[in-house]
Structure 1
Amino acid sequence: MRGRGGPPLALNLLQGLFLVFLLNEPDFREAMGHRLHQDFISLGEEKNLLLPYIPPTTAPQPFLPQLAPSPSGDTFPKLSGLCPLNISSAGSMMKTTAVDCWAFFAPFLANVICCPQLQATLVILIGQSSKYNGRLAMSMTHANHCLSDVQQILASQGANDDLQQICSIHPSNLTEASCPVNDVHAFESSVDTSRLLAACKKVDPVNECCTQICQNAIIEAATKISLKDGSLPSMNGAHILPVHSSIMDDCKSVVLRWLASKLDPDQAKQALRQISNCNVNKACPLVFPNTKSVAKYCGNVIENRTACCNSMENYVSHLQKQSFITNLQALDCAALLGMQLQKANISDNVYRLCHVTLKDFSLQESGCLLPSLPSDATLDQSSGVSFTCDLNDNIAAPWPSASQTSASSCNKSIKFPEIPAATSTEKRWWEDIIQFYDHGPGGRSAVSSADEAKTIDASMIDRAP
């Protein structure tokens, strides 16, 4: 797909914050506004987050895009003093979570990196604590204090201060909720723990999502404890009611905490992230706008290829404003959109016609597909926060066949486009891509470039974990 943009403005975070203050002064804005760089892709009218466009190259390479300058320094969080979890003993894990959920980029990394890491951190904290207090769940009072303290600590290390909202995590998620078992003794008397530990002690990062060895063991254990005290009736061949599904989900959380108590924190993190990644890669997280505009120019017999591809480019540009996704999610997104277009009477392969690639479905027009295996962002004190982009090549988006129902990587009948071997470990960096910019008259960014800045509607950002 075609793209527009210009070079990024090298502006560190402290300068950006100072600029926000100055730009609120009318005199300074009038005098200095014209000196600011013009060519940005805006990420949110209200948040004023701006991304530079990175033009595609003839031979794109895997790269580590820099998210932003590193936080200038930790602040002192205001803690309740009433959380029984030993959070201080998990300093390394908390720092990893803070970087994974860094400030303004947490919503865009939420689905793949931030929220899975935050959820794993909470599970491990409760699991490790159970070795001393024998409990696999917290009271609601303690859960409120602990979740608040964790958020405060992460925010003090540079993380977004609204992670509970972004990741849809609530104090009840730290309790047993509807699961009838909440302590270690009751759990171990109900479950074949040796079988569970053998299945999940070392999760196969490549095959687990298809073989589901650990996941099946977790379901088996969750089923056993959910049946304790008659909380969940036997489900032999019966439809699972929503209330039953809720009990099972709550009991799965208890199972995961027990596993986290039997593994060292690093092992537990790897297992939990690999299990959650199976769910992450199962579905496309993007929200697809109505396809009427594309159908108008591409439906039935395409009479004007340029008009068709322009409408397709405009449509895809909305997808590029939502979130970073994995390469497997991109395959599923391409399949889902393709099927929607086919239902709108678009029979021609518009992906091929308009040169739509898999990376067109991820954030930014230059595209960055995250690895399908679990990964973390990294922090370098000199260059800032970065993460690894996978599959940065121009892989054509596959147009779904008429009989295709799923793009699952476990479906051997699905033919995926050939993925080339990594061509280089060369690094390319985004420079200071978080920029602050004040709105001009009428609430629009003061941009005078020939190419109008593209603005994202905050409601289109997918923040589901």
Structure 2
Amino acid sequence: MERKVCVVAARIINASGANVVQGFGLQKILCTLAYATANESPQSHDIGSMITKEVENTLFPYIAPNGSPRPFIPLLAPSPLVPFLTNTAPKLSGKCGLNFSAVSGLMRTTAVDCFTSFAPLLANVICCPQLHATVTILLGQSSMQTGMLALDSTHAKYCLSDVQQILESQGANYELRRICSIHSSNLTEGLCPVSDVNGVESAIDSSKLLASCSKVDQVNECCSKVCQNAILDAAGKVAMRDGGLPIMESTNMAAKASKVDDCRRVVLRWLSSRLDVTSATQLLRGVSNCNVNGACPLLFPDTANVAKECGTKIKNHTTCCNAMDNYVAHLQKQSFITNLQAMDCGAKLALQLQSENVSTDIYRLCGINLKDFSLQVGSQGTGCLLPSLPSDATLDPTTGISFTCDLNDNIAAPWPSSLRSPTTSCNRSISYPELPAATSAQIGGNEQYAKLHLLTAALLFLLYI
């Protein structure tokens, strides 16, 4: 099966501050960003034209007779990963006692997942879930020496700052805490009354929890919730260990929920201390991925214009579809999303439009597919959907940063039959004949998935805009 291929050009940030990704189709997967020199004004360039010319004049001669692309490095770019492979010494506080050496490999993976300018584009799916997992495992592994599963507020600030410094020294985005909304309070016990290993183990059924979560079925866990329910049950038991009224008798539902959620974090740290780093990572990423795929991360602008052109009885199909295309174009400037997130985004937008008297299935009318909700690559503006299972970006000294990307998924966006139609992928009554397979990209058996390579030299361009 022939795979669609692209060369991705990072266009100049527009007046609204949104990142836009454009591309140009080829016959093999090779995606690279544009590069501009520091002494030139990015606003003076037509990046699309520049890259098109660069591709025509430079890239095609590098396609080998057997069709395998050779690494493409823009002529203006320095040696690709030299500034990033040589780690700078992080400026640590000296006041954090966490065992960073126990998770050194995990920190490197996180730095790549959250690499500089790509972090905001991969935040919801790859970067932030990995960062939160890393912090959880760091606390869990350190508890094996300290016996504590939480830090006080003072040390939490120092330790989170040190995490940021270490990751930044390895190439991660310097605004990672803001991008991922992680705060020093995430390293404390919060409202949970128990913060030590002995306290947790005296409150929970350790063997039952480990049996449920030591090996998470990443394909079915989001629907079966075997591990998630075990964690929630353990968190509830830990939350009641404060000598006061049972948590279920609390009249403040919000406080009760916050208390259980804080204890859930403590339980996850305990689990991380009982597993090796790799297994703990798979556990945390698998469980968090249920939340990732469970909600659309996109921000939806005002739909008034679409409702005006497509509402009630459509008078002009062309005008309606133009309004819809313009609207979707705003969504395509936000971030990479998974195929299941795209399904939810499509349903969410459809329900919004239905509430505004748009009764016609304008997805079918205007040819809107799931991939139309993601960042676009390819000469025809093909959307890059990430796989629904947890995945990481990878770093290669030659090709740079890459991640698994579905470029060929032409599944029609879902148009609910009513305002109350369920959209969850766990609802077996919903028929999606070509529902994105969660495992195909992971086992490498589906040629519709390919690696999207982003030359790190191009990051220098992004840093100037």
1:343–1:328 Cα change, 3 Å: same
Tell me the distance in 2 between the aligned counterparts of 1:201 and 1:246. 26
1:232/1:244 contact within 8 Å kept: no
Q: Which runs of 5+ in 2 are unaligned?
A: 1-19, 52-71, 438-445
| Contact preservation (8 Å) 1:135, 1:184 | yes
The letter for the 2-side match of 1:380 is D
How is 1:250-399 mapped onto 2 (pairs within 5 angstroms)?
250-364=262-376, 365-390=381-406, 392-399=408-415
CA distance 1:40–1:271, shift in 2 (3 Å): farther
Q: How many aligned residue pairs are there? A: 404
Residue 452 (structure 2) pairs with residue 436 (structure 1): no
Deviations 1:314-368 (A, max 9, x none): 0001111111111111111111111111111111111011110100011124211
Q: Percent identity?
A: 57
Report the CA distance between 1:392 and its aligned residue.
Answer: 3.0
Please give the per-residue CA displacement for 1:182-218, whole angstroms capped at 9, x wherever unaligned. 0011111111111111111111111111111111111
Q: Which residue of 1 aligns with 2:128?
A: 115
Distance 1:378 1:407 in 2: 32
Q: Distance between the aligned counterparts of 1:221 and 1:174, measured in 2?
A: 19
Higher relative contact order (CA 8 A, sep 6+): 1
SS for the counterpart of 1:303 is coil
In structure 1, how many angstroms separate the alpha carbons of the residues matched to 2:270 and 2:185? 18
User: Which segments of structure 1 move beyond 6 Å, counting only runs of 4 or more?
Assistant: 8-13
Q: Decide whether aligned partners of structure 1 residues 152 and 397 sit closer, same or farther in structure 2, where only a CA change above 3 A counts.
A: same
The answer (yes or no) to whether the contact 2:232–2:264 under 8 Å persists in 1 is yes
Q: In 2 relative to 1, CA 412–138 (structure 1 residues): closer, same or farther, beyond 3 Å?
A: same
The alpha carbon displacement at 1:10 in A equals: 9.8
Closer, same or farther: CA 352–127 of 1 in aligned 2, 3 Å: same
Quote the residue 1:409 is aligned against.
425
1:161 pairs with one of 174, 193, 200: 174
For residues 417 and 397 of structure 1, the distance between their equivalents in structure 2, rounded to whole angstroms, comes to 12
Alignment-derived partner of residue 456 in structure 1: none
1:463 counterpart residue number: none
Displacement of 1:307 in angstroms is 0.9
- Whether contact under 8 Å (1:369, 1:392) holds in the other structure is no
Whole-Å separation in 2 of the counterparts to 1:112 and 1:395 = 20
* Distance (Å, rounded) in 2 between the aligned partners of 1:78 and 1:231: 43
Contact 1:180 1:231 in 2 (8 A): no
> Does residue 215 of structure 2 align to residue 202 of structure 1?
yes
Offset, 1:232: 6.0
TM-score (norm: length of structure 2): 0.80
User: In structure 1, what is the equivalent of residue 442 of structure 2?
Assistant: none
* Contact 2:110/2:131, CA 8 A, preserved across alignment: yes
Determine if the alignment matches structure 1 residue 23 to structure 2 residue 48.
no
Q: Give CA-to-partner distance per residue, 1:33-68, whole Å, 9 cap, x none.
A: 56x645489xxxxxxxxxxxxxxxxxxxxxxxx9x9
Amino acid at match of 2:372: D
For residues 146-166 of structure 1, what are the alpha-carbon distances to aligned partners after superposition, in whole Å with 9 as ceiling and x for unaligned? 111110110111100111111
Corresponding residue number in structure 2 for 1:126: 139
- Superposed, 1:151-230 pairs within 5 Å as 151-230=164-243
TM-score relative to the length of structure 1 = 0.80
The answer to whether the 8 A contact 1:396-1:417 is kept is: no
- Following TM superposition, by how much is the alpha carbon of 1:406 offset from its aligned partner in structure 2, in angstroms? 2.4
* Letter paired with 1:294: V
Q: Does the aligned pair in 1 maintain the 2:405–2:450 contact within 8 Å? A: no
Give 1:146's match in structure 2, choosing from 148, 159, 166: 159
Q: Evaluate the alpha carbon distance shift between residue 86 and residue 227 of structure 1 in structure 2; reply closer, same or farther with a 3 A threshold.
A: same
| Match of residue 91, structure 1, among 96, 104, 112 | 104
Greater alpha carbon shift after TM alignment, 408-417 vs 79-88: 408-417
- Deviation per CA, 1:14-44: give whole Å up to 9, x if none: x64xx23x136xxxx99xx56x645489xxx
- How far apart are the structure 1 equivalents of 2:352 and 2:50? 31
Give, in whole Å, the separation in 1 of the partners of 2:279 and 2:185: 26
Q: What is the CA-CA distance between 1:436 and the residue it aligns to? A: 3.1
Residue identity in the other structure for 2:255: V
The alignment yields a C-alpha RMSD, in angstroms, of 3.1
CA separation of 1:310 and 1:178: change in aligned 2, threshold 3 A = same
Q: Which moved more, 1:243-252 or 1:411-420?
A: 411-420
| 1:416-455 aligned within 5 A | 416-419=432-435, 422-424=446-448, 429=453, 434=459, 436=461
Q: CA deviation at 1:390?
A: 3.1
5+ residue gaps in structure 1? 42-65, 440-444, 446-465
**Per-residue deviation at 1:230?**
3.7
Q: Is the 8 A contact 1:332 1:406 kept in 2?
A: no
Going from structure 1 to structure 2, the CA distance change for 1:231 and 1:96 (only over 3 Å counts) comes to: farther
Which stretch shifts more, 403-412 or 258-267?
A: 403-412
Find the aligned partners of 2:295 and 2:235 in 1 and give their Cα distance.
24
SS at match of 1:388: strand
Deviation for aligned residue 1:138:
0.9
Whether the 8 Å CA contact 1:331–1:398 is kept in 2: the answer is yes
